[in-house]
Amino acid sequence: MELRIAPRAFASPLGHCRFFCARCLLPISPMGCPGFARAEWANLLNEAAIVTIDRKTGGVLAPNVVCCIQQNNRSKMNQQLTNFYDHLNTSVITTNGFTEGTLFRKREKVNQFAYCGLNPVYRKYLSFDLDYPDAGHKFEELKVPPPTIITTNRANGHAHYLYELITPVAYHQSAHQKPQQYFEAIELEMTRQLKGDLAFTHTLTKNPLHERWTVETFPTRYHLSDFTEYFDLPDVKWVKPDAEKCEIRGRNDELFHTLRLWAYTEVKHHNNEELWHHIALGQAEAINASFQKPLQFNEVKTTAKSVSAWVWKNRNELSGRAKVLTFTNESATERMSAGAAYTNEVRRTNSLNTIRTAYQELVPLYGNKVTAKLLATHTGQNIKTVRKYLPFILTEH
């Protein structure tokens, strides 16, 4: 018996070793599938390794099969492709063509599929779709940094670029929004710089481990801040929509505009993306139910999905009040000063309104004997604050 890789047995619930048939890869009993030849396993594993073989049963220990496949996958990779493989989830969404749909499959089988999903929870790659001919080395002409991995379609020259990040950006439920906002701003501006597809979802990519594509790698890894040496991030501005300017041409338009105007403020109360999509769908159904002739559910679901996805992606820029956004040309000191000035103005207005209301309530009772001390007692404001704003109120009366 040859013992080269992971010489361990997989214990079944019955307490004995479990074996697998060399031909059908199904579990077998110690008496099943005799007449096994080691060369058959070598062919199955692309001559990658010698595995643990039981000469009597013609079986192979289960952990060794996985180890051999992993060893075979890695044997054909350089460091950049190894990093890509390691960043994938244990279950990866894959397909060989979008007409056949997508399925989650084990990471060990990812090299069998032309497209695979990037890790959606810890985003280690900026991905871009250059949907035009001769895109493989377009980065040189556009004067942007070289990608870590380029996968090019041999038939038409279209390519996907992958830029590996030194520090992945977390997108789980308790992750901070500021790094996500920065990641998405870099991603959007790089798409523009590369003249890439703005409709690209950045979820599935041409799999650089699959033989369909021409693959080129560069020993490059980046911090997000490195990209700002090649371009400046534009100012992020949000103009609050005016409901009166919405053009309603039917039930679909009414559903869309009503739902999105609700979503702009409602999204601020949620931090779970999946739950947010469910809540938006529920709101869309409620709006649809108010129509004299409701739309079909599929139409409602499509509109809800579109609105909730866009609002969630842009939730950091949606606000009901003016604020200093992250991506401006202001320095940190200028941003802090502007924020402090805004806060002070809000406090001043609130204090003045509180004291003014109290003064108006007390004048009918005390006449011109309303004092700063009486106002302080009535409002709970500090006596110094009352004395500061009382002259402004007296001039009004």
Model confidence over 323-354: pLDDT tens digits? 444 445 555 566 666 767 777 787 888 888 88
Q: What share of the chain is helix, strand, coil (3-state, %, to 5)?
A: 45, 15, 40
> Residue 107 and residue 113: Cα distance in Å, rounded?
11
Model confidence over 222-236: pLDDT tens digits? 999 999 999 888 765
- pLDDT cut 70: percent of the chain above it: 72
Would the pLDDT of 16 be above 50?
no
> Residue 7 and residue 19: Cα distance in Å, rounded?
13
pLDDT, the chain, mean: 77
Model confidence over 117-146: pLDDT tens digits? 999 999 999 999 999 999 999 999 999 999
State the DSSP string of 187-228: HHHHHHHTT--TT--SSEEE-TTSTTSEEEE-S--B-GGGGG
Count of Cβ atoms closer than 10 Å to residue 308 Cβ:
25
Supply the pLDDT for residue 227: 94
Instruction: List all residues 6 or more positions away from 205 whose beta carbon is below 8 Å from its beta carbon.
Output: 115, 116, 117, 118, 125, 127, 151, 160, 162
**Structure-model confidence comparison of residues 352 and 112, the more confident one:** 112
Q: b/e for 273-297, b at 16 or more Cβ within 10 A?
A: eeebbebbbebbbebbeeeeeebee
Instruction: Tell me the average pLDDT across 46-68.
Output: 44
Lowest-confidence segment of 32-46, 86-100, 314-328, 381-395 by average pLDDT: 32-46
Instruction: List all residues 6 or more positions away from 270 whose beta carbon is below 8 Å from its beta carbon.
Output: 276, 279
Model confidence over 174-215: pLDDT tens digits? 888 889 889 999 999 999 999 999 888 888 999 999 999 999
SS3 assignment, position 185: helix
Count of Cβ atoms closer than 10 Å to residue 22 Cβ:
23
Supply the pLDDT for residue 56: 46
Single-letter amino acid code for the residue at 109: K
Lowest-confidence segment of 166-170, 239-243, 329-333 by average pLDDT: 239-243
Architecture of domain 243-313: Orthogonal Bundle (1.10)
The pair of structure tokens assigned to 184 is 């998405």
CB-CB contact of 191 with 126 (8 Å): no
Domain ranges of the chain: 19-75, 79-229, 243-313, 332-396
Tokens 């990866």 found at: 92
